[in-house]
Amino acid sequence: MSSQSIDIGLSKATEPASLALILGKAARVVFRVLVVCFCLTPFLLVIAISLGEKIEGAAWVWGFEFTHYERFFVGADWPNSYSGIYLQKLWYSLYYALIAAPIAVVTAFPFTYFLTRLTRRAQTVWLIFLLSSLSLSEVFIAMGWDVLLSNRSGLPMVLRELGITDWMKATGWFDVARDWGLASPRDLKFKTSLFATVLTMSYLVWPYAVILLYPALSRLDTSTVEAARTMGAGPWAVMRTVILPTVRIPLIGTTLLLFVFLLGVYVSVTVFADPSQHTLAVSIYGSVRGSTLNAPFGAAQSVILLITAGLFLVLSQILVSYAEKRR
């Protein structure tokens, strides 16, 4: 009798519990599906549409053809004529990132090192400043540098007023600046130029460089530095023989991440680079939303940018795991 009542009690207790369990499992599955939907589907769609067929004068239909990739590598008129214009755009994407990422890392490295030597309180204030700058929209940053480099109220005006422009003209440096594309016949000008593009791009990722180097440098074992100093090593020797070898991997990893980030930069390139030197990101934008309107081709270019970025991300991952294994 008593065992029966216990039985009933148990079954009553387990029934809602199992229902909750099933609901919980269902919610978990739904949640996972949603994450996959939102984070993976867009990339899969880009890949699928890159194989689609563009109909002249209309939109596009699903398909399975590699014409858009062919156009990317050898031009639309292949095999009658060869055009490497899109390969050149990819090269410019790589080129800007290749210059701007190392500049940002090289200048951010000593800064971050000094930052980690400050008190916790000072570090917090600096971090607020850095994070605010980091999150500031690219449109505002382009706007700021646009004013700073503009002929009427920016750097060219300052140099003119200070007489540096005249001095450059007198000594022949002005012609050098013209050769570098930094001057019009009469005055210095930085828009549009490689200098302005790379400067803005480095500025854009500089706070990222600090944030990415920060963990490694703040965990740096100070006792080895102090030991080296006590043994009479100068600051440069310490930097070269103690600090740099220990943070070599984070340094390379940071450069790679910034490089990937810069591959997709759009606003700075449109504002500061010469149209003949625009990047793949600008071309994607033009194909998908802009004047040329060719979604499958835009998608194909996106896939190529994606693969390029993915390669460098995988490289940085390999580097990190290699470093962890050695530890």
Partner 1 sequence: MTRLHWSAMIFMGLAAIVLAMPIVVVSAAALNGGRTMLFPPEDPTLARFVEFFVSEPVWRTALYNSTVIALGSAAIAVLAAWPMAYWIWKRSDTGSKALAGLAAMPFALPPIVFGVGLGFMWAFTGGLGTIWAAILSHAALFVALPLVTISIGLQSVDRAHLDAAATMGATEGVTFRTIVLPQTLPYTASGFFFAMVLSFNEFIVMFFVSSSAFSTVTLQIFNSLRNGFTPTMAVAAITFITVSVVAFSLVARFGDLPRLMGADQTRD
Q: Which of residues 59-88 bind partner 1 (CB under 8 A)?
A: none
Q: What distance in Å separates the CA atoms of residue 327 and residue 325, rounded to the nearest whole number?
A: 5
Pick one of 72, 190, 206, 259: the residue that binds partner 1 (CB under 8 A).
Answer: 206
Interface with partner 1, residue 294, by CB under 8 A: no
54 forms bridges with which residues in the sheet? Answer: 60
CB of 82 to partner 1, least distance (A): 27
How far is C-alpha 111 from the chain's CA centre?
20
Contact status, residue 59 vs residue 293, Cβ threshold 8 Å: no
CB of 244 to partner 1, least distance (A): 17
CB of 166 to partner 1, least distance (A): 22
Give 195-239 as a DSSP string: HHHHHHHHHHHHHHHHHHHHHHHHTS-HHHHHHHHHTT--HHHHI
Q: Which is nearer to partner 1, 192 or 302 (CB)?
A: 302
Helix ranges restricted to H, the chain: 2-49, 67-74, 85-117, 120-135, 138-149, 155-161, 164-171, 173-179, 194-218, 222-230, 235-238, 244-246, 248-263, 267-272, 280-288, 295-326
Interface with partner 1, residue 153, by CB under 8 A: yes
Interface with partner 1, residue 295, by CB under 8 A: yes
Interface with partner 1, residue 296, by CB under 8 A: no
CB of 210 to partner 1, least distance (A): 9
Pick one of 22, 40, 170, 227: the residue that binds partner 1 (CB under 8 A).
Answer: 40
Interface with partner 1, residue 327, by CB under 8 A: no
For residue 172, is it left (φ>0), alpha (ψ between -120 and 50) or beta? left
Interface with partner 1, residue 136, by CB under 8 A: yes
Q: How many residues does the chain have?
A: 327
Interface with partner 1, residue 207, by CB under 8 A: yes
Site residues for partner 1, 102-131, by CB under 8 A, read 107, 110-111, 114-120, 123-124, 127-131
Angle at 131 between CA 130 and CA 134, to 5 degrees: 85
Site residues for partner 1, 228-267, by CB under 8 A, read 235, 260-261, 263-264, 266-267
Q: Which stretch binds partner 1 (CB under 8 A): 159-167, 184-192, 239-247, 292-300?
A: 292-300
Q: Which stretch binds partner 1 (CB under 8 A): 3-11, 176-184, 189-197, 216-224?
A: 216-224
Q: What distance in Å separates the CA atoms of residue 254 and residue 213, rounded to the nearest whole number?
A: 7
Short-list 119, 117, 106, 126, CA closest to 222: 117
Helical (H) or strand (E) element with 61: strand 60-61
CB of 183 to partner 1, least distance (A): 21
